[in-house]
Amino acid sequence: MDNIILLGVCLAAGILLRHFRRVPDTTHLGLNAFIINISLPALTLNLIHQIHPAPALAAAMLMPWLVFAAAAAIFALAGKIFRLPKPATGALIIGGGLGNTAFTGLPMIEAFYGKACVPIGIVIDQLGTYLALNTIGLLVICLYAGERVTAREVCRRIITFPPLIALVLAICLFPLAYPSWASSVLARLGDTLTPLALVSVGLQLRPDAYRGERALLAAGLGYKLLAAPLLVALLYFGLFGLRGPIANVTVFEAGMGPQIGGAIVAIQYGLDADLITLMVGAGTILSFGTAPILWHFFH
């Protein structure tokens, strides 16, 4: 519950700081740079090292990739049919395809399924959502950023992306135990991601932007909060015949709002900032209402 309250406080803080002009208009750029270069890598180095994958968790790890692949197919097609600008299409794919499986997802799992199920959420988040962001997510961001980039430039951006470097390093260091001071430093730096990211989102939220983004916002959040968990439920419960806590938590996590880290990266690389900011802000709030509904049907 504390983490959920923190989400609201930080989002509101960013909105109020902007409204009362207590910070420069470009403050979010500095916050975003810190998040991508420090917070996200630290979080990855810390949490990946704590995961102990098991064969039974393969379905959980696969879910974010399925949700992202479906979002990419649906919104890429919609972008062509409705002739949407590339940055808007990319924002829909990233906002709809990547869920906030950590900062709302983990507290929600603990609240609805109990602390024993939280490790399932960590596996979904780190080996699913964040790994997808660091690879195919970044590829989509580069392709839809609205600027012409060569294949070489896309590759350069991917292999020099700090969170991906951190992921590779974490995997290489997996057999080794971190010194206590290193774990402490990484944990503290990783903990800055949630407050800074939500303050940044709040700084960029503009009420007047809602009017021009209403249809796209509804489409993106309709997919993320409703269609995505329904799709995963049909596949896992219906087609694959999966049952039990792992399947239940995985479907539940599929309905979390848009990922904060993915939105920050998308904004930093030039996708539609207004649209993806609205998706994160509105999606975070709406997920507090849709999550209990998902739990009611899929527990």
For residue range 89-103, what is the model confidence (pLDDT) as tens digits? 999 999 999 999 987
Of residues 224 and 298, more confidently modeled = 224
| Residue 151 banded pLDDT, cuts 50, 70, 90 | confident
High-pLDDT (> 90) share of the chain, %? 48
Give the pLDDT confidence score for residue 204 in this predicted structure: 81
Fold of 26-297: Na+/H+ antiporter like fold (1.20.1530)
Sort residue 54 into left (φ over 0), alpha (ψ -120 to 50) or beta.
Answer: beta
108 vs 234: CA distance, rounded Å: 22
Q: Please, what is the end-to-end C-alpha distance for the chain in angstroms?
A: 20
Residue 77 confidence (pLDDT): 98
| pLDDT for position 294 | 93
How far is residue 159's CA from residue 167's CA, in Å, rounded to a whole number? 11
Partners of residue 163 on adjacent β-strands? none
Residue 192 has pLDDT above 80, yes or no: yes
Give the rounded percent of residues in the chain with a pLDDT score beyond 70.
Answer: 96
Number of CB atoms found within 10 A of residue 289's CB: 9
Helices (H), the chain: 2-19, 27-34, 40-48, 58-81, 86-97, 105-113, 118-123, 130-132, 138-143, 151-159, 162-172, 180-190, 193-204, 209-222, 228-233, 245-254, 260-268, 273-297
In whole angstroms, how far apart are CA 31 and each of 35, 98, 203, 249?
6, 21, 10, 32
207 has a pLDDT exceeding 80:
no
For residue 209, pLDDT over 70 is answered with no
Each residue's pLDDT tens digit, 164-180: 898 889 889 988 889 99
HSE-CB of 199 using CA atoms within 13 angstroms: 19
Q: Residue 285 — pLDDT band, cuts 50, 70, 90?
A: confident
pLDDT higher at 164 or 147: 164
Please tell me the distance from the alpha carbon of residue 130 to that of residue 132, in angstroms, as a whole number. Answer: 5
Instruction: Measure the CA–CA gap between 133 and 164, rounded to whole angstroms.
Output: 9
Please give the residue that has the higher pLDDT: either 299 or 172: 172
The pLDDT value given to residue 268: 87
Least confident range of 22-26, 109-113, 143-147, 171-175 = 143-147
pLDDT at 134: 86
Where is average pLDDT lowest: 169-173, 216-220, 235-239? Answer: 169-173
pLDDT, residue 254, reads 97
Q: Long-range contact list for 133-136, CB < 8 A, 24+ apart?
A: 133/98, 133/163, 133/259, 133/261, 133/262, 133/265, 134/44, 134/161, 134/163, 134/164, 134/167, 135/164, 136/65, 136/68, 136/72
